[in-house]
Structure 1
């Protein structure tokens, strides 16, 4: 099978094509694509120096400076890294910001090393434009919203449904005070790219009606794309009505069991437990004003005691002493109020499985 034209962006994203990003590290950090790997032509300092030279002396002088900065052993080391990537990912592509000089230079140096590797026409900018357009395309299509009190399994459902789109997964944040993960949240650009790639894959499968979890404008530190947010404000809503004990079990698993495991796996036993406890305390601290300081102090002490018992003997039962009032006295009243303002758009209610079956039938 021949390789696709490098302008066939849908094919690249549907097939999780490996992409070698030639931009400087700072550009990559600001946002890239799910299958991108940073193998920069220049460091941040080198790029800044070349950019200054370009402004002051023009393109030819900037190119000459670039060749002086990336030469000899430095050049050999970078070409070796690129060559290793190309050999490990023979079906991949490289790109820079616009598919210009950096891509052409990298491609030329690789040819000199015996490897013919294609670059993306239009570079990062063209890929990014394609993904932004995909988000707007999906926003114009029919959609449904799955709603329900905290712990209803909304995120689980959008991942189970063939036409579900996981905003929180793309944001790498669960959208609540306790919503962060062990590793940092994605940047706005990375969030949008991850979400758009989900969309590209589902559009490629012929899906035309999408299901989103009920969200506000922000998920942690990122903002839901405006076109999607606006469309969500008009979509039909299906509400999960699961009992408190079922929701408590989900919350215990998400906020306590999985987070403790992930902190220990990431930082080791001793430091992992310390950071896990800090994560829970920070989540409570963030909502102290809404809880009221007296109730906050009571719930915080219950939380701290539960962590100590969990660490000493593995017990999880003590966590109910703070999770239950967190649900019943804070999250449930707040979400019930928010949902009341959308009552005219609610078209179905049921338990988790009933809502899932109803949405799947649509």
Structure 2
């Protein structure tokens, strides 16, 4: 595979299968969506070879690698690579720099009768391509941000548009103290890679401007890339509005009903464990903002939440959660957002309900 950006574009636009032959520790630090890890060396073997390289040089390290990965172990790994190649004939393999490790895997596959291409430049070059792609998207495509009070459905607006980037979706976090999901967030590099690939696909589809949710620098444990965040601070805003009742209902769905379903998937045969995990999640989320709430207010909300959880466990009804959700909006989130809007008022170019905002943003994109 030639080492140029057109090749990397095709890899990511077509979501071609990728076999990552780096060590598991490297893969865990950052990978590409859909890539599978079939390492040439495991972490311990890689460490031994690396130490040998530093102390005795490249040739000694190569010889050690061949001694470590030989016989039945080598045969088993070749069989795993063959199975991947046969299941994914349009795929590619790569290592960190597209060098020795991927060459060895490619050669061993060839010796086993399988011709399989590798990515020249490897993970490092593909990662560089994605970083540059996101920077280019930010530079070339004006941004518009969707803002609004908690529970107005900003994520629903983002998902309804063909020219949006879903920061919360890629971060696997709803962007608030209650925003965690039942499963972990991706690592920072994985988050950035997914975001850049979405930007690449938007530009390939002809988008000349991009819409994002108005987020802080941090979405859970993921940080919005610094250049993107810098431009977001100057971008025009559309302000999404909805009734208080609708907002409470939406948050009830997101924070309670959907989370209950997520934990049920994790504990399919154990409803008690599922409910305990939900309770821990909600109470822990409230505890994280205790200092900002103040001790007395936190205590009041916690009591409402515990009563709702008891009712839910006893009868399955979730309506009791509406009381603490409404109080949290009135006493915490709404005053905070009102303060934040006061500093952004000059940037607001449109306000309306969900249908009006989606229509405005689609017309704005079509007019560009």
Please give the TM-score of this superposition, normalised by the length of structure 2: 0.96
1:40 aligns with 2:39: yes
| 1:12-27 equivalence runs, <5 A | 12-27=11-26
Gaps of at least 5 residues in structure 1 are none
CA deviation after TM superposition for structure 1 residue 267, in Å: 2.1
2:17 and 2:34 in contact (8 A); partners too: yes
Corresponding residue of 2:224: 224
| 1:179-190 equivalence runs, <5 A | 179-190=179-190
Instruction: Identify the match of residue 317 of structure 1 among 304, 316, 319.
Output: 319
CA deviation after TM superposition for structure 1 residue 143, in Å: 1.1
| SS of equivalent residue, structure 1 residue 215 | coil
CA deviation after TM superposition for structure 1 residue 265, in Å: 1.0
Could you tell me how far apart the structure 1 residues matched to 2:159 and 2:3 are?
30
Instruction: Identify the match of residue 359 of structure 1 among 347, 358, 361.
Output: 361
CA deviation after TM superposition for structure 1 residue 278, in Å: 0.4
CA deviation after TM superposition for structure 1 residue 15, in Å: 1.1
CA deviation after TM superposition for structure 1 residue 11, in Å: 1.1
2:2 and 2:120 in contact (8 A); partners too: no
Corresponding residue of 1:172: 172
Could you tell me how far apart the structure 2 residues matched to 1:179 and 1:142 are?
28
| SS of equivalent residue, structure 2 residue 206 | coil
Gaps of at least 5 residues in structure 2 are none
CA deviation after TM superposition for structure 1 residue 298, in Å: 1.3
CA deviation after TM superposition for structure 1 residue 312, in Å: 2.1
Corresponding residue of 2:338: 336
Q: Deviations over 1:56-91 (max 9, x none)?
A: 110000000001111111111111111111111111
Could you tell me how far apart the structure 2 residues matched to 1:5 and 1:54 are?
28
CA deviation after TM superposition for structure 1 residue 339, in Å: 1.6
Corresponding residue of 1:143: 143
CA deviation after TM superposition for structure 1 residue 308, in Å: 2.1
| SS of equivalent residue, structure 1 residue 216 | coil
CA deviation after TM superposition for structure 1 residue 33, in Å: 0.6
Could you tell me how far apart the structure 1 residues matched to 2:355 and 2:54 are?
61
CA deviation after TM superposition for structure 1 residue 114, in Å: 1.3
Count residues with an aligned counterpart: 359
Corresponding residue of 1:91: 90
CA deviation after TM superposition for structure 1 residue 5, in Å: 5.6
Could you tell me how far apart the structure 1 residues matched to 2:47 and 2:19 are?
21
2:109 and 2:116 in contact (8 A); partners too: yes
Could you tell me how far apart the structure 1 residues matched to 2:8 and 2:235 are?
29
| SS of equivalent residue, structure 2 residue 239 | strand
1:237 and 1:347 in contact (8 A); partners too: yes
| 1:207-356 equivalence runs, <5 A | 207-268=207-268, 269-356=271-358
Could you tell me how far apart the structure 1 residues matched to 2:128 and 2:273 are?
42
1:6 and 1:118 in contact (8 A); partners too: no
2:13 and 2:201 in contact (8 A); partners too: yes
Could you tell me how far apart the structure 2 residues matched to 1:209 and 1:5 are?
31
Could you tell me how far apart the structure 1 residues matched to 2:109 and 2:294 are?
63
| SS of equivalent residue, structure 1 residue 211 | strand
1:118 aligns with 2:117: yes
Could you tell me how far apart the structure 2 residues matched to 1:77 and 1:248 are?
55
CA deviation after TM superposition for structure 1 residue 6, in Å: 6.9
CA deviation after TM superposition for structure 1 residue 311, in Å: 2.3
- For the aligned residues, what is the CA RMSD? 1.1
Could you tell me how far apart the structure 2 residues matched to 1:126 and 1:83 are?
25
